[in-house]
Structure 1
């Protein structure tokens, strides 16, 4: 993009967002097509030239501080719960974006896992300082949503952000295939960088069909074996029990992604979860040292308060 293109992007964005002019009017005034106006506005959002922040009501910060103290965490951010899952997820995403902006500094190496909430949060982050963003998990397409490859590509479009993608599915057919994928130079390089993260953003999923993105992807036999082994939650395809200890099953050998040990070694891990069902998994993640900052909704916070008694 040339300097003239950048200037035009700013001028068109100002016309549309601040002066309230229509796309048709802007196109006529600027001597360009309506399609060009729409493209410039989309690029402005993608590059962080324009940031639109939706700020839902925040729960009491003192409540989060009390819960953090009881759980032994650095911070607990509590977003408002809503009647529908989509709005709740969006509220949590806004809080996650705030937390990420606070913790990502110039020169940071940032690990990003994938979930629908993380995907939503990126829309609210805006521009980041110069940093490296490492994809922590292979792609696991979810109906109606994107995946980790699409997410890392969004970061790649941000000025000053260097990305390290993992060109692989999260789950592959067998252990040998997974081992082969992990040996691929680009994938090996990305996963090796997870040993040296400054910040990681991950999602905690309760081990059930409705609340884990991994659970529906495996066979009933694997589901039963994991449950029998004491699994309460998963993070980036890795399973753990109520004490936060990794649970090794055949599933673990088929995952291409970050390990729980790598997350435990990361100075700042921001973990998200919403709904009361995820609370035991969040507590387990805290016990296992997987997370030191939580971003949750009111329902999860209420359940956490009961468990932390």
Structure 2
């Protein structure tokens, strides 16, 4: 058996025998199949070459497959689970779901694997002239570190600066992506969570902060993270006192994205809304494409809450999370 690969990545194998076709039919079917699958000839060109109609070409190709002359295998890279990806996309009504094989080892290995695939995905979907909103997390950090090339785009910071938990804060991530894309950056030099409403309102009126946040209405894509409050794995939660975090969890907070809090059913919990420097939930919903990059089974229920809220249009995650979301 000889095996070939078309330009679209399909594997095409053509056995030499064991066909149910008669000799003359077999020879013609093999010739037609070779011209179509291996040479990339159109059905119209093949019809003219063999002196048959294009409808007959389609029939011969079907006969070739039925007789075992042609076998097509869809080859997906081993690090991506196509079946789980499609099931997750269907379950939550997403435009895209990319499920990455969970490597053995520490959670950091999972973040790195998901980050690399997320970077490839962003390189695929981002186009020149896009205005990209970027949040911050450890997984998004791995994504940004894996980026090597982008078309010229504008990059806008979606949230204020987290107090810790990442090697590079949101300002640095925005500047790094803008540098790769050779485009303008609009960072926000302000904390994520303020101690009171008055302080937050004061910062929102500062020219640099206001200028960046005005860009939210122009966003074509947003790249966001997901934080979990139970179990705790949230940079927003870490920005609060223990008493505040406990009280909010008692109010039903399960997850957050861009510092906007959600309960188990994806409903908003607005207690912090007036104290955070971040894109609002309403503004985020108006962005045509919102891509969440999040992984680790500790975040599975939080990811479910965010997907249920309908804010996200695409998700990059790992197989362990996908299986939990699909059970």
TM-score, with structure 1 as normaliser: 0.76
Runs of 4+ in 1 over 4 A off after TM superposition: none
- Where does residue 322 of structure 2 map in the other structure? 301
In structure 2, what is the Cα distance between the partners aligned to 1:142 and 1:71? 32
| Residues 1:178 and 2:208 are matched in the alignment | no
The alpha-carbon distance between structure 1 residues 262 and 144, as it changes in their structure 2 partners (threshold 3 A), is closer
Alpha-carbon deviation of 1:216?
2.2
Q: Which of residues 126, 136, 150 is equivalent to 2:172?
A: 150
In structure 1, what is the Cα distance between the partners aligned to 2:87 and 2:166? 37
| Residues 1:214 and 2:236 are matched in the alignment | yes
| Residues 1:242 and 2:299 are matched in the alignment | no
**Contact 2:296–2:321 under 8 Å retained in 1:** yes
| Structure-to-structure mapping, 1:24-39, within 5 angstroms | none
Alpha-carbon deviation of 1:79?
1.4
Give 1 or 2 for the bigger CA radius of gyration.
Answer: 2
Gapped regions of structure 1 (runs ≥ 5): 1-55
In structure 2, what is the Cα distance between the partners aligned to 1:88 and 1:279? 14
- Where does residue 89 of structure 1 map in the other structure? 111
- Where does residue 258 of structure 1 map in the other structure? 279
Alpha-carbon deviation of 1:57?
4.3
The alpha-carbon distance between structure 1 residues 178 and 120, as it changes in their structure 2 partners (threshold 3 A), is same
- Where does residue 65 of structure 1 map in the other structure? 86
- Where does residue 277 of structure 1 map in the other structure? 298
Q: Which of residues 128, 131, 142 is equivalent to 1:109?
A: 131
Secondary structure of 1:232's aligned partner: strand
The RMSD of aligned alpha carbons is 1.7
In structure 1, what is the Cα distance between the partners aligned to 2:179 and 2:89? 35
Alpha-carbon deviation of 1:209?
6.4
The alpha-carbon distance between structure 1 residues 150 and 204, as it changes in their structure 2 partners (threshold 3 A), is same
TM-score, with structure 2 as normaliser: 0.72
In structure 1, what is the Cα distance between the partners aligned to 2:100 and 2:274? 35
